[in-house]
Each structure stands twice: as structure tokens, then as C-alpha cells.
Amino acid sequence: MNGLLRIALKLLLNDKGKFATLVIGITFSVFLMMQMTSMFSGILYQSAANIVNVGAKMWVMDPAVQTPQNSIPMPDYVLDAVRSIPGVKFAVPFYVGAGLVKLNDGTYQSATIIGLDDASLFGRPAIISGNILDIYKNNAFIMVKDANYAKLGSPKIGTSFEINDHRAVVVALAHTSVPGLFGLPTLYTTYNRATQDLPSTRYLISYILVQPKSTQDIAAIERQVKNLGYLALTDQQFVARNDQYYEFQTGMGTNILIMTLISFLVGLSIAGETFYMFVLDNLEHFGALKAIGAKSGELIQMIVFQSLVVGFLGFGFGVLLSSTMIAIGKMRIANYAAMVTYENLFLALIMVLVISVFSSYIGIRKVIRIDPFDVFRG
């Protein structure tokens, strides 16, 4: 059988034009599929930036909230009620809002303002310059140094500007593990300052961050919060809720799915047609092998082997090309939302295997019906 597989490989490589067409077609298909799914994965990951960066085990919110960016304020009594639930180690208020920053040159820039609990500063970012305790100074804000940092003029410690007509002073620079999705600079301050300086509704608490005493207490906390008329989710549940919103309640998930299917069909059509032409061109070789005693099962294995060789080469080149483009995009474009995940790779691999099986099936149908005498007579 090893000899037949070597013959199959030689037949494949001898027809350089069709071999290159097969590999390029699958490479292009994998590249498009990886680009689409990687962009969507990056969007989902960065849309959950606040959940990941804050690091709270549980989040309490209004039941209508779907994403961390669209919070619905809650009354103060909910915080007291959550703190009184058995199994809660501590619970703190958390504010997320938008502010309009007026820079010293007179230009304006929208920014995300995050208010941390005054007593604990729970959810604070990692400080890379300055002192976290300076956040308690008058008009103090901590600036996140990320891809959007330059949009506020790359402020240094001591830089001042206005946020919603209130003076703000940068007292420290910080780093977060996940950048935001919407291209807005992020500023941290205390909860009280955020709720006092920014326009607000009657209720002020965006979320309540909860740390349970143990994982066994989570289910009981969720039930108690539900009895209050609100929703308690773990960080992973909140991320999943955010993902479901973008996947099923916006056009983004549908559009990505359509583009991925189109990419798959492009690869399927190119590979299927080209592989069928390859089999037709080599029909006399398969007939000769059958005439000297090769069984139909062995010929089928040869065709499957050829299809898999082309498929895996195309898969490898497609992943390499897509990864290279994503790496270049991240270096050149701020907040480029794309990331290669195991799920993306697995999905592309499954689709390549489907393309290989389909191509093999087209070739197998022709080969198993071949009559050696008809070939030689031709």
C-alpha cells in the first residue's frame, strides 16, 4: 500500500498546474474563513473588556442588561440588600459611563469613565506610573495607557483637562489586559467623583461587584438577587451573555456566518472541479493500476490520500497567511479586533476536511466505475 501512496503522490505532483490550483483554492478559502471568524472572535473578546479587566467573580445588574457597555442604573437599596445575602463576602458599587473630555487645545473627545468603590478600589487597573492612592486627590483620574491613549494627547502625570465641565487631573497611568472595542480612551476615578461629575439619572449604580465566600454560595446568591428583581451572573456567564447578544441579536453574527459560508463554498467549488479534472486526466493511470491487480479499495485510498495532502497543505498555508495578516494589522492599526483561537482553527479544519471528502467523492465515483479494457482500447 505504501507503494501505491507514493504513486498517488507522484501523480499529484506531476500535474503541477492542477496541484497548484488545488492548494491555492483551499488556501484562499481557509484564509477567508480564518479572517472572518478571527475578526468576530476579537470583537467578542474586546467587547467584554470591562468584565475581564475588573476581575469580579459575580456581577449584579438589571435583567434587561445584555452587554457591559449598556448598563441600567440601580437604586442604592439593592447594594444594601446584596450585602446582606448569606454567602456574600463583600459587594461594592461600580460605575461605567461616558464623559466628554475637553483638551487644552479646545478639541473634544469622548471617553469611558469608570468609577471604583471609594473604600476598596476593587477592580482597579495595574498601575505602571504614579501611585494608586493619588486617586483620592481632588479631581484625580487614572489614565489607561492603551491604543487609545494618544486620543487624549498622550497625557503625562499632572496633565489637566475638563470632563463634562469639571476639572480633571491625571495622577497615574495604568494598563489593562484587554483593550476596549469602541476606540474610546478609558479613565478611572472614584465612584463618588464619577457619579457627581457626570450626568446621571435618579439611580447611580451601574453594577454591583460581588465576591462570594465560596463557589458553593453562587447559586444561592443568584436566587436571592432574582427575588429582588435583579440578575446576578458570574463573570463567565456575563461574558456568554455578551457573546450571545452580538451573535444573535445584532447583524454582526449573521454577516460573519454568511461570509464564512461563502468562503467555504468557494473552496468547495474550486477544489471539487479541479480535483475532478485531475482524476479525468489521470484516468488511464488508475485504469492501468486496476488492470495489474489494484483493488477498488486501494484506488479509493489513493484518491483520499491525494485529497488530504492538498487539503492539509491548503489549510497550513491559509492559517499562516491569515495569522500573518492579523499580526500586521495589530502592528499597524490601533484596536485591531482579531484573534486566532482554537475554535477558529478547529472550524477551519473541519471545513477543509469536508472539502477534501467532497473532492474525494467526486473522484472516487469516476475511478470505481473504470473498466481497464476501455482505457486501453481508448
pLDDT tens digits along 169-215: 999 999 998 887 777 899 999 999 998 878 777 898 999 999 999 99
Residue 100 has pLDDT above 60, yes or no: yes
Residue 286 contacts residue 299 (beta carbons within 8 Å): yes
**Average pLDDT score over residue span 23-48:** 88
Query: What's the confidence (pLDDT) of residue 87?
Result: 93
Q: Which residues contact 113 (CB under 8 A, 6 or more apart)?
A: 95, 96, 97, 98, 99, 163, 187, 189, 194, 198
pTM of the entire predicted model = 0.80
Enter the C-alpha cell of residue 13: 505532483
Rg (CA), the chain: 29
Which range has highest mean pLDDT (91-105, 245-259, 265-279, 353-367)? 91-105
Joined grid coordinates for residue 78: 439593592
Residue 20 confidence (pLDDT) above 90: no
Going by C-alpha positions, the residue among 64, 74, 91, 66 that lies closest to residue 210 is: 91
> How many CA atoms lie within 13 Å of 140's alpha carbon, on the beta-carbon side?
18
Query: Which residues, other chains included, contact 278 with Cβ-Cβ below 8 Å and sequence gap of 6+?
Result: 12, 15, 18, 19, 22, 306, 363
Q: Are 31 and 321 in contact (CB under 8 A)?
A: yes
Let me know: does 159 contact 190? Beta carbons within 8 Å: no
**Choice among 103-117, 148-162, 282-296 with the minimum mean pLDDT:** 282-296
At 376, the pLDDT band (50, 70, 90 cuts) reads: low
Residue 309: name the closest of 34, 38, 15 by CA.
15
Neighbours of 174 (CB within 10 A): 21
